[in-house]
Structure 1
Protein backbone atom coordinates (compact mmCIF):
# COMPACT_ATOMS: atom_id res chain seq x y z
CA UNK A 1 0.00 0.00 0.00
CA UNK A 2 1.24 3.46 -0.90
CA UNK A 3 2.08 5.72 2.02
CA UNK A 4 2.41 9.05 0.18
CA UNK A 5 -0.64 11.18 -0.47
CA UNK A 6 -1.87 14.02 -2.66
CA UNK A 7 -2.79 17.39 -1.25
CA UNK A 8 -5.77 19.42 -2.47
CA UNK A 9 -3.82 21.35 -5.11
CA UNK A 10 -2.16 18.21 -6.47
CA UNK A 11 -5.48 16.38 -6.69
CA UNK A 12 -6.97 19.36 -8.52
CA UNK A 13 -4.02 19.42 -10.93
CA UNK A 14 -4.45 15.70 -11.69
CA UNK A 15 -8.13 16.36 -12.48
CA UNK A 16 -7.15 19.20 -14.81
CA UNK A 17 -5.02 16.76 -16.80
CA UNK A 18 -7.37 13.78 -16.88
CA UNK A 19 -10.45 15.90 -17.61
CA UNK A 20 -8.80 18.33 -20.02
CA UNK A 21 -11.34 19.64 -22.53
CA UNK A 22 -9.67 18.27 -25.66
CA UNK A 23 -6.64 16.21 -24.58
CA UNK A 24 -8.15 14.34 -21.63
CA UNK A 25 -10.91 11.77 -21.17
CA UNK A 26 -14.55 12.35 -22.04
CA UNK A 27 -17.10 12.58 -19.25
CA UNK A 28 -18.46 9.19 -20.26
CA UNK A 29 -15.00 7.66 -20.01
CA UNK A 30 -14.39 9.31 -16.64
CA UNK A 31 -17.74 8.08 -15.31
CA UNK A 32 -16.89 4.52 -16.29
CA UNK A 33 -13.44 4.72 -14.66
CA UNK A 34 -14.93 6.18 -11.47
CA UNK A 35 -17.51 3.41 -11.26
CA UNK A 36 -14.85 0.76 -11.85
CA UNK A 37 -12.93 2.29 -8.92
CA UNK A 38 -16.10 2.26 -6.75
CA UNK A 39 -16.14 6.06 -6.51
CA UNK A 40 -19.57 7.65 -6.36
CA UNK A 41 -20.58 10.07 -9.12
CA UNK A 42 -21.65 13.37 -7.60
CA UNK A 43 -24.31 15.59 -9.10
CA UNK A 44 -22.76 17.99 -11.60
CA UNK A 45 -25.60 20.51 -11.24
CA UNK A 46 -26.83 19.99 -14.79
CA UNK A 47 -30.61 19.97 -15.17
CA UNK A 48 -33.26 20.18 -17.88
CA UNK A 49 -36.96 20.25 -17.00
CA UNK A 50 -38.14 20.97 -20.52
CA UNK A 51 -38.38 24.69 -19.87
CA UNK A 52 -35.02 25.68 -18.47
CA UNK A 53 -31.57 24.16 -18.84
CA UNK A 54 -28.76 24.49 -16.29
CA UNK A 55 -25.23 23.82 -17.54
CA UNK A 56 -23.71 22.80 -14.21
CA UNK A 57 -20.04 22.19 -13.34
CA UNK A 58 -17.42 21.82 -16.03
CA UNK A 59 -15.81 18.41 -16.48
CA UNK A 60 -12.66 19.19 -14.47
CA UNK A 61 -14.54 20.59 -11.47
CA UNK A 62 -17.01 17.70 -11.56
CA UNK A 63 -14.17 15.13 -11.50
CA UNK A 64 -12.48 16.93 -8.63
CA UNK A 65 -15.76 17.00 -6.68
CA UNK A 66 -16.14 13.23 -7.21
CA UNK A 67 -12.62 12.52 -5.96
CA UNK A 68 -12.81 14.99 -3.08
CA UNK A 69 -16.13 13.48 -1.98
CA UNK A 70 -14.52 10.03 -1.98
CA UNK A 71 -11.65 11.21 0.22
CA UNK A 72 -13.98 13.01 2.62
CA UNK A 73 -16.33 10.03 2.86
CA UNK A 74 -13.85 7.14 3.13
CA UNK A 75 -11.03 9.09 4.80
CA UNK A 76 -8.73 7.31 2.39
CA UNK A 77 -7.06 8.09 -0.94
CA UNK A 78 -6.58 4.49 -2.05
CA UNK A 79 -9.56 4.47 -4.44
CA UNK A 80 -8.22 7.68 -5.98
CA UNK A 81 -4.99 5.85 -6.70
CA UNK A 82 -6.96 2.95 -8.16
CA UNK A 83 -8.78 5.42 -10.41
CA UNK A 84 -5.48 6.92 -11.66
CA UNK A 85 -4.07 3.43 -12.33
CA UNK A 86 -7.15 2.42 -14.31
CA UNK A 87 -7.11 5.69 -16.27
CA UNK A 88 -3.46 5.19 -17.27
CA UNK A 89 -3.63 1.47 -17.93
CA UNK A 90 -1.59 1.05 -21.16
CA UNK A 91 -3.91 -1.78 -22.29
CA UNK A 92 -6.56 0.85 -23.04
CA UNK A 93 -4.23 2.64 -25.49
CA UNK A 94 -2.88 -0.23 -27.60
CA UNK A 95 -4.25 1.22 -30.84
CA UNK A 96 -1.71 3.27 -32.78
CA UNK A 97 -4.06 6.26 -32.95
CA UNK A 98 -4.22 6.40 -29.13
CA UNK A 99 -0.46 6.44 -28.47
CA UNK A 100 -0.01 10.20 -28.67
CA UNK A 101 -2.93 10.77 -26.31
CA UNK A 102 -1.55 8.20 -23.85
CA UNK A 103 1.94 9.70 -23.88
CA UNK A 104 0.52 13.17 -23.26
CA UNK A 105 -1.78 12.16 -20.39
CA UNK A 106 0.88 9.97 -18.78
CA UNK A 107 3.51 12.70 -18.99
CA UNK A 108 1.30 15.52 -17.71
CA UNK A 109 -0.09 13.39 -14.87
CA UNK A 110 3.39 12.33 -13.81
CA UNK A 111 4.50 15.97 -13.70
CA UNK A 112 1.96 16.47 -10.92
CA UNK A 113 2.60 13.14 -9.19
CA UNK A 114 6.36 13.63 -9.03
CA UNK A 115 5.86 16.68 -6.83
CA UNK A 116 4.11 14.32 -4.41
CA UNK A 117 6.77 11.61 -4.67
CA UNK A 118 4.69 9.34 -6.92
CA UNK A 119 4.93 8.12 -10.51
CA UNK A 120 2.93 5.97 -12.92
CA UNK A 121 5.50 3.87 -14.77
CA UNK A 122 5.14 2.57 -18.32
CA UNK A 123 3.72 -0.70 -16.99
CA UNK A 124 0.82 1.31 -15.58
CA UNK A 125 1.86 0.81 -11.97
CA UNK A 126 1.69 3.66 -9.44
CA UNK A 127 4.91 3.66 -7.44
CA UNK A 128 6.62 5.80 -4.81
CA UNK A 129 9.73 7.68 -5.95
CA UNK A 130 11.98 10.45 -4.69
CA UNK A 131 9.88 13.60 -4.52
CA UNK A 132 10.73 16.30 -7.06
CA UNK A 133 11.38 19.73 -5.59
CA UNK A 134 11.35 21.99 -8.66
CA UNK A 135 9.63 22.19 -12.04
CA UNK A 136 13.00 21.89 -13.79
CA UNK A 137 13.59 18.61 -11.97
CA UNK A 138 10.13 17.44 -13.02
CA UNK A 139 10.93 18.17 -16.67
CA UNK A 140 14.23 16.32 -16.48
CA UNK A 141 12.64 13.24 -14.98
CA UNK A 142 9.38 13.04 -16.87
CA UNK A 143 9.66 14.55 -20.31
CA UNK A 144 9.64 11.72 -22.84
CA UNK A 145 10.84 14.08 -25.57
CA UNK A 146 14.10 14.53 -23.71
CA UNK A 147 14.58 10.79 -23.41
CA UNK A 148 13.94 10.42 -27.12
CA UNK A 149 16.45 13.15 -27.93
CA UNK A 150 19.18 11.59 -25.83
CA UNK A 151 18.34 8.10 -27.08
CA UNK A 152 19.04 9.38 -30.57
CA UNK A 153 22.39 10.79 -29.43
CA UNK A 154 21.49 14.35 -30.39
CA UNK A 155 24.55 16.49 -30.98
CA UNK A 156 25.88 18.32 -27.94
CA UNK A 157 25.80 21.67 -29.79
CA UNK A 158 22.07 21.29 -30.43
CA UNK A 159 21.53 20.49 -26.75
CA UNK A 160 23.50 23.59 -25.79
CA UNK A 161 21.46 26.04 -27.82
CA UNK A 162 17.89 24.83 -27.99
CA UNK A 163 17.05 21.77 -25.90
CA UNK A 164 15.50 23.76 -23.01
CA UNK A 165 13.11 25.53 -25.38
CA UNK A 166 12.29 22.23 -27.09
CA UNK A 167 11.50 20.52 -23.79
CA UNK A 168 9.21 23.42 -22.87
CA UNK A 169 7.56 22.76 -26.25
CA UNK A 170 8.43 26.30 -27.31
CA UNK A 171 9.26 25.11 -30.81
CA UNK A 172 9.60 28.53 -32.42
CA UNK A 173 12.28 29.62 -29.97
CA UNK A 174 13.93 26.19 -30.20
CA UNK A 175 14.35 26.54 -33.96
CA UNK A 176 15.37 30.19 -33.67
CA UNK A 177 18.01 29.46 -31.02
CA UNK A 178 19.30 26.47 -32.99
CA UNK A 179 19.72 28.73 -36.02
CA UNK A 180 21.63 31.31 -33.99
CA UNK A 181 23.67 28.48 -32.54
CA UNK A 182 24.60 27.32 -36.04
CA UNK A 183 26.10 30.73 -36.82
CA UNK A 184 27.84 30.86 -33.44
CA UNK A 185 29.38 27.43 -34.01
CA UNK A 186 30.76 28.54 -37.37
CA UNK A 187 32.26 31.64 -35.74
CA UNK A 188 33.86 29.52 -33.02
CA UNK A 189 35.50 27.19 -35.52
CA UNK A 190 36.63 29.83 -38.03
CA UNK A 191 37.40 32.80 -35.80
CA UNK A 192 35.24 35.00 -38.04
CA UNK A 193 33.13 37.74 -36.47
CA UNK A 194 30.52 38.40 -39.17
CA UNK A 195 26.95 37.11 -39.22
CA UNK A 196 24.26 35.84 -41.57
CA UNK A 197 24.92 35.25 -45.23
CA UNK A 198 28.26 37.09 -45.11
CA UNK A 199 29.51 34.68 -42.44
CA UNK A 200 28.64 31.53 -44.42
CA UNK A 201 29.90 32.92 -47.72
CA UNK A 202 33.26 33.75 -46.17
CA UNK A 203 33.51 30.52 -44.19
CA UNK A 204 32.80 28.43 -47.30
CA UNK A 205 34.53 30.65 -49.87
CA UNK A 206 35.69 28.75 -52.95
CA UNK A 207 39.39 28.07 -53.29
CA UNK A 208 40.38 28.79 -49.69
CA UNK A 209 37.49 28.00 -47.30
CA UNK A 210 37.72 28.32 -43.55
CA UNK A 211 35.57 25.20 -43.26
CA UNK A 212 35.74 22.06 -45.34
CA UNK A 213 34.70 18.45 -44.85
CA UNK A 214 35.98 16.72 -47.98
CA UNK A 215 38.91 17.01 -50.36
CA UNK A 216 36.89 18.95 -52.98
CA UNK A 217 38.71 17.05 -55.73
CA UNK A 218 35.71 15.62 -57.58
CA UNK A 219 32.59 17.28 -58.99
CA UNK A 220 30.52 15.33 -56.48
CA UNK A 221 32.57 16.59 -53.53
CA UNK A 222 32.41 20.17 -54.83
CA UNK A 223 28.63 19.93 -55.25
CA UNK A 224 28.33 18.54 -51.72
CA UNK A 225 30.38 21.43 -50.35
CA UNK A 226 28.30 24.05 -52.15
CA UNK A 227 25.10 22.31 -51.11
CA UNK A 228 25.98 22.44 -47.41
CA UNK A 229 26.95 26.10 -47.67
CA UNK A 230 23.68 27.02 -49.42
CA UNK A 231 21.68 24.94 -46.94
CA UNK A 232 23.19 26.85 -44.01
CA UNK A 233 22.56 30.20 -45.68
CA UNK A 234 18.99 29.19 -46.48
CA UNK A 235 18.23 28.13 -42.91
CA UNK A 236 19.61 31.35 -41.49
CA UNK A 237 17.84 33.62 -43.97
CA UNK A 238 14.52 31.78 -43.60
CA UNK A 239 14.45 32.21 -39.83
CA UNK A 240 15.63 35.82 -40.06
CA UNK A 241 12.87 36.69 -42.51
CA UNK A 242 10.23 34.98 -40.34
CA UNK A 243 11.49 36.82 -37.27
CA UNK A 244 11.44 40.18 -39.04
CA UNK A 245 7.94 39.50 -40.41
CA UNK A 246 6.72 38.70 -36.90
CA UNK A 247 8.20 41.95 -35.55
CA UNK A 248 6.64 43.93 -38.42
CA UNK A 249 3.21 42.37 -37.75
CA UNK A 250 3.52 43.20 -34.05
CA UNK A 251 4.49 46.83 -34.81
CA UNK A 252 1.60 47.20 -37.25
CA UNK A 253 -0.82 45.73 -34.72
CA UNK A 254 0.36 48.06 -31.96
CA UNK A 255 0.11 51.06 -34.29
CA UNK A 256 -3.50 50.13 -35.15
CA UNK A 257 -4.30 49.73 -31.46
CA UNK A 258 -2.75 53.12 -30.66
CA UNK A 259 -4.76 54.81 -33.43
CA UNK A 260 -7.92 53.12 -32.19
CA UNK A 261 -7.29 54.35 -28.66
CA UNK A 262 -6.92 57.92 -29.82
CA UNK A 263 -10.11 57.98 -31.89
Structure 2
Protein backbone atom coordinates (compact mmCIF):
# COMPACT_ATOMS: atom_id res chain seq x y z
CA UNK A 1 0.00 0.00 0.00
CA UNK A 2 1.25 3.48 -0.76
CA UNK A 3 2.62 5.25 2.33
CA UNK A 4 -0.35 7.32 3.37
CA UNK A 5 1.73 9.89 5.26
CA UNK A 6 3.26 10.80 1.90
CA UNK A 7 -0.03 11.06 0.02
CA UNK A 8 -0.78 14.66 -0.83
CA UNK A 9 -4.39 15.86 -0.94
CA UNK A 10 -6.17 14.82 -4.14
CA UNK A 11 -7.83 17.41 -6.33
CA UNK A 12 -11.59 17.69 -6.50
CA UNK A 13 -11.88 15.86 -9.83
CA UNK A 14 -9.96 12.85 -8.49
CA UNK A 15 -12.02 12.64 -5.31
CA UNK A 16 -15.22 12.86 -7.36
CA UNK A 17 -14.09 10.11 -9.75
CA UNK A 18 -13.10 7.83 -6.87
CA UNK A 19 -16.44 8.41 -5.14
CA UNK A 20 -18.39 7.60 -8.30
CA UNK A 21 -16.41 4.44 -9.12
CA UNK A 22 -16.87 3.00 -5.63
CA UNK A 23 -20.43 4.28 -5.27
CA UNK A 24 -21.45 2.35 -8.38
CA UNK A 25 -20.06 -0.85 -6.91
CA UNK A 26 -22.03 -1.05 -3.65
CA UNK A 27 -25.46 -0.53 -2.13
CA UNK A 28 -26.04 2.15 0.49
CA UNK A 29 -25.95 -0.38 3.32
CA UNK A 30 -22.75 -1.91 1.99
CA UNK A 31 -21.16 1.53 1.80
CA UNK A 32 -21.90 2.00 5.50
CA UNK A 33 -19.82 -1.09 6.20
CA UNK A 34 -17.05 0.06 3.86
CA UNK A 35 -16.85 3.49 5.53
CA UNK A 36 -16.78 1.94 8.98
CA UNK A 37 -14.01 -0.48 8.05
CA UNK A 38 -12.01 2.35 6.47
CA UNK A 39 -12.51 4.34 9.71
CA UNK A 40 -14.12 7.23 7.88
CA UNK A 41 -16.80 9.48 9.36
CA UNK A 42 -20.09 9.35 7.45
CA UNK A 43 -21.64 12.80 7.83
CA UNK A 44 -24.50 12.21 5.38
CA UNK A 45 -25.43 8.57 6.01
CA UNK A 46 -27.73 6.37 3.97
CA UNK A 47 -30.35 8.08 1.87
CA UNK A 48 -27.90 10.45 0.22
CA UNK A 49 -26.81 9.86 -3.38
CA UNK A 50 -24.08 7.26 -2.98
CA UNK A 51 -21.24 9.03 -4.75
CA UNK A 52 -22.05 12.34 -3.05
CA UNK A 53 -22.06 10.60 0.32
CA UNK A 54 -18.59 9.21 -0.36
CA UNK A 55 -17.35 12.48 -1.79
CA UNK A 56 -18.44 14.41 1.31
CA UNK A 57 -16.83 11.87 3.62
CA UNK A 58 -13.54 12.05 1.71
CA UNK A 59 -13.57 15.83 1.34
CA UNK A 60 -14.29 16.35 5.06
CA UNK A 61 -11.39 14.12 6.09
CA UNK A 62 -9.03 15.64 3.56
CA UNK A 63 -9.90 19.20 4.60
CA UNK A 64 -9.36 18.35 8.25
CA UNK A 65 -6.12 16.41 7.93
CA UNK A 66 -4.54 17.90 4.82
CA UNK A 67 -3.64 14.62 3.12
CA UNK A 68 -5.11 11.94 0.88
CA UNK A 69 -5.09 9.17 3.47
CA UNK A 70 -8.87 8.86 3.47
CA UNK A 71 -9.05 8.28 -0.29
CA UNK A 72 -6.36 5.59 -0.17
CA UNK A 73 -8.06 3.90 2.80
CA UNK A 74 -11.45 3.92 1.11
CA UNK A 75 -10.11 2.44 -2.13
CA UNK A 76 -8.12 -0.30 -0.37
CA UNK A 77 -11.12 -1.23 1.75
CA UNK A 78 -13.68 -1.15 -1.07
CA UNK A 79 -11.49 -3.03 -3.55
CA UNK A 80 -10.31 -5.80 -1.20
CA UNK A 81 -10.80 -9.16 -3.01
CA UNK A 82 -12.74 -10.59 -0.06
CA UNK A 83 -15.25 -7.79 -0.44
CA UNK A 84 -15.60 -7.94 -4.24
CA UNK A 85 -15.78 -11.72 -4.56
CA UNK A 86 -19.47 -11.70 -5.49
CA UNK A 87 -19.04 -8.94 -8.12
CA UNK A 88 -15.72 -9.77 -9.76
CA UNK A 89 -16.50 -8.39 -13.22
CA UNK A 90 -17.87 -5.08 -11.94
CA UNK A 91 -14.93 -4.78 -9.54
CA UNK A 92 -12.50 -5.25 -12.43
CA UNK A 93 -14.11 -2.33 -14.26
CA UNK A 94 -13.96 -0.19 -11.11
CA UNK A 95 -10.31 -1.11 -10.60
CA UNK A 96 -9.49 -0.09 -14.17
CA UNK A 97 -11.24 3.24 -13.66
CA UNK A 98 -9.53 3.92 -10.35
CA UNK A 99 -6.09 3.05 -11.74
CA UNK A 100 -6.63 5.39 -14.66
CA UNK A 101 -7.69 8.25 -12.39
CA UNK A 102 -4.92 7.67 -9.86
CA UNK A 103 -2.25 7.39 -12.56
CA UNK A 104 -2.34 11.18 -12.75
CA UNK A 105 -1.12 11.17 -9.14
CA UNK A 106 1.52 8.49 -9.69
CA UNK A 107 -0.59 5.74 -8.13
CA UNK A 108 -2.50 2.64 -9.20
CA UNK A 109 -4.68 -0.12 -7.76
CA UNK A 110 -3.45 -3.71 -7.74
CA UNK A 111 -5.46 -6.91 -8.02
CA UNK A 112 -5.16 -7.19 -4.24
CA UNK A 113 -7.10 -3.93 -3.99
CA UNK A 114 -4.18 -2.04 -2.49
CA UNK A 115 -3.03 1.34 -3.73
CA UNK A 116 0.56 1.33 -4.96
CA UNK A 117 3.06 3.67 -6.55
CA UNK A 118 3.05 3.73 -10.36
CA UNK A 119 4.64 5.79 -13.14
CA UNK A 120 2.90 9.15 -13.11
CA UNK A 121 0.83 10.10 -16.13
CA UNK A 122 1.13 13.77 -17.02
CA UNK A 123 -2.40 14.11 -18.34
CA UNK A 124 -5.53 12.00 -18.69
CA UNK A 125 -4.60 11.59 -22.36
CA UNK A 126 -1.23 10.20 -21.28
CA UNK A 127 -2.96 7.70 -18.99
CA UNK A 128 -5.05 6.44 -21.90
CA UNK A 129 -2.28 6.53 -24.50
CA UNK A 130 0.07 4.16 -22.71
CA UNK A 131 -2.47 1.39 -22.79
CA UNK A 132 -3.77 2.27 -26.25
CA UNK A 133 -0.31 2.36 -27.82
CA UNK A 134 0.83 -1.03 -26.57
CA UNK A 135 -2.51 -2.70 -27.30
CA UNK A 136 -2.27 -1.32 -30.87
CA UNK A 137 1.23 -2.77 -31.21
CA UNK A 138 0.00 -6.13 -29.97
CA UNK A 139 -2.91 -6.13 -32.39
CA UNK A 140 -0.67 -5.13 -35.29
CA UNK A 141 1.46 -8.18 -34.55
CA UNK A 142 -1.61 -10.39 -34.78
CA UNK A 143 -1.38 -11.44 -31.14
CA UNK A 144 -3.68 -14.36 -30.38
CA UNK A 145 -7.10 -13.42 -29.04
CA UNK A 146 -6.60 -15.49 -25.87
CA UNK A 147 -3.54 -13.43 -25.00
CA UNK A 148 -5.32 -10.15 -25.75
CA UNK A 149 -8.43 -11.14 -23.82
CA UNK A 150 -6.44 -11.67 -20.64
CA UNK A 151 -4.76 -8.25 -20.62
CA UNK A 152 -6.38 -5.34 -18.79
CA UNK A 153 -5.48 -1.83 -19.91
CA UNK A 154 -4.49 -0.88 -16.36
CA UNK A 155 -1.57 -3.32 -16.64
CA UNK A 156 -0.38 -1.73 -19.87
CA UNK A 157 -0.07 1.65 -18.16
CA UNK A 158 2.60 0.49 -15.72
CA UNK A 159 5.54 -1.86 -16.32
CA UNK A 160 3.61 -4.75 -17.90
CA UNK A 161 4.41 -7.13 -15.02
CA UNK A 162 0.82 -8.23 -14.52
CA UNK A 163 0.06 -8.45 -18.25
CA UNK A 164 2.88 -10.93 -18.82
CA UNK A 165 2.34 -12.87 -15.60
CA UNK A 166 -1.39 -13.37 -16.18
CA UNK A 167 -0.85 -14.29 -19.84
CA UNK A 168 1.50 -17.10 -18.88
CA UNK A 169 -1.01 -18.33 -16.30
CA UNK A 170 -3.61 -18.40 -19.09
CA UNK A 171 -1.38 -20.71 -21.11
CA UNK A 172 -1.16 -23.06 -18.16
CA UNK A 173 -4.93 -22.97 -17.78
CA UNK A 174 -5.44 -23.83 -21.44
CA UNK A 175 -3.01 -26.74 -21.35
CA UNK A 176 -4.65 -28.13 -18.21
CA UNK A 177 -8.10 -27.87 -19.78
CA UNK A 178 -7.05 -29.49 -23.05
CA UNK A 179 -5.12 -32.35 -21.48
CA UNK A 180 -7.36 -32.91 -18.46
CA UNK A 181 -4.43 -32.55 -16.08
CA UNK A 182 -4.02 -31.02 -12.64
CA UNK A 183 -0.38 -30.01 -13.01
CA UNK A 184 1.60 -26.83 -13.51
CA UNK A 185 4.86 -25.57 -14.98
CA UNK A 186 7.33 -28.08 -16.42
CA UNK A 187 5.34 -31.08 -15.17
CA UNK A 188 2.28 -29.83 -17.03
CA UNK A 189 4.20 -29.29 -20.28
CA UNK A 190 5.92 -32.67 -19.97
CA UNK A 191 2.64 -34.53 -19.50
CA UNK A 192 0.67 -32.59 -22.09
CA UNK A 193 3.20 -32.22 -24.91
CA UNK A 194 6.13 -34.59 -24.40
CA UNK A 195 6.92 -38.25 -23.92
CA UNK A 196 6.08 -41.27 -26.02
CA UNK A 197 2.35 -40.58 -25.88
CA UNK A 198 1.64 -36.85 -25.29
CA UNK A 199 -1.99 -36.00 -24.59
CA UNK A 200 -1.97 -32.94 -26.88
CA UNK A 201 -0.73 -33.51 -30.43
CA UNK A 202 0.45 -30.51 -32.45
CA UNK A 203 0.93 -32.70 -35.52
CA UNK A 204 0.78 -36.40 -36.45
CA UNK A 205 3.72 -37.04 -34.10
CA UNK A 206 5.10 -39.89 -36.21
CA UNK A 207 8.23 -38.73 -38.00
CA UNK A 208 11.38 -37.42 -36.36
CA UNK A 209 10.66 -33.98 -37.81
CA UNK A 210 7.18 -33.91 -36.30
CA UNK A 211 8.46 -35.01 -32.91
CA UNK A 212 11.21 -32.39 -33.01
CA UNK A 213 8.65 -29.74 -33.91
CA UNK A 214 6.49 -30.69 -30.92
CA UNK A 215 9.49 -30.73 -28.60
CA UNK A 216 10.45 -27.27 -29.83
CA UNK A 217 7.05 -25.77 -28.97
CA UNK A 218 7.14 -27.53 -25.61
CA UNK A 219 10.57 -26.03 -24.94
CA UNK A 220 9.21 -22.55 -25.64
CA UNK A 221 6.44 -23.11 -23.10
CA UNK A 222 8.84 -24.49 -20.51
CA UNK A 223 11.16 -21.56 -21.08
CA UNK A 224 8.38 -19.08 -20.34
CA UNK A 225 7.39 -20.89 -17.15
CA UNK A 226 11.02 -21.02 -16.00
CA UNK A 227 12.24 -17.57 -16.97
CA UNK A 228 9.12 -15.47 -16.39
CA UNK A 229 6.35 -17.14 -14.41
CA UNK A 230 8.47 -18.81 -11.71
CA UNK A 231 10.67 -15.78 -10.88
CA UNK A 232 7.59 -13.55 -10.70
CA UNK A 233 5.84 -15.99 -8.38
CA UNK A 234 8.75 -16.13 -5.92
CA UNK A 235 10.26 -12.64 -5.98
CA UNK A 236 8.81 -9.51 -4.39
CA UNK A 237 6.79 -7.35 -6.77
CA UNK A 238 9.10 -4.41 -6.09
CA UNK A 239 12.18 -6.11 -7.59
CA UNK A 240 10.63 -7.66 -10.71
CA UNK A 241 10.01 -5.32 -13.64
CA UNK A 242 9.19 -5.77 -17.31
CA UNK A 243 9.75 -3.16 -20.00
CA UNK A 244 7.68 -2.72 -23.15
CA UNK A 245 9.96 -4.51 -25.61
CA UNK A 246 10.36 -7.54 -23.36
CA UNK A 247 6.60 -7.66 -22.87
CA UNK A 248 6.00 -7.60 -26.62
CA UNK A 249 8.48 -10.43 -27.17
CA UNK A 250 7.02 -12.63 -24.42
CA UNK A 251 3.43 -12.03 -25.48
CA UNK A 252 4.41 -12.77 -29.08
CA UNK A 253 5.90 -16.11 -28.04
CA UNK A 254 2.75 -16.93 -26.10
CA UNK A 255 0.70 -16.09 -29.17
CA UNK A 256 2.75 -18.51 -31.28
CA UNK A 257 2.14 -21.32 -28.80
CA UNK A 258 -1.59 -20.63 -28.68
CA UNK A 259 -1.82 -20.72 -32.48
CA UNK A 260 -0.20 -24.14 -32.49
CA UNK A 261 -2.65 -25.29 -29.84
CA UNK A 262 -5.52 -24.07 -32.04
CA UNK A 263 -4.62 -26.74 -34.57
CA UNK A 264 -3.86 -29.43 -31.99
CA UNK A 265 -5.74 -32.71 -31.55
CA UNK A 266 -6.15 -34.81 -28.41
CA UNK A 267 -4.87 -38.34 -28.18
CA UNK A 268 -7.79 -40.73 -28.08
TM-score by length of 2: 0.45
Q: Which has the higher contact order (CA 8 A, sep 6+)?
A: 2
TM-score by length of 1: 0.46
Larger Rg: 1
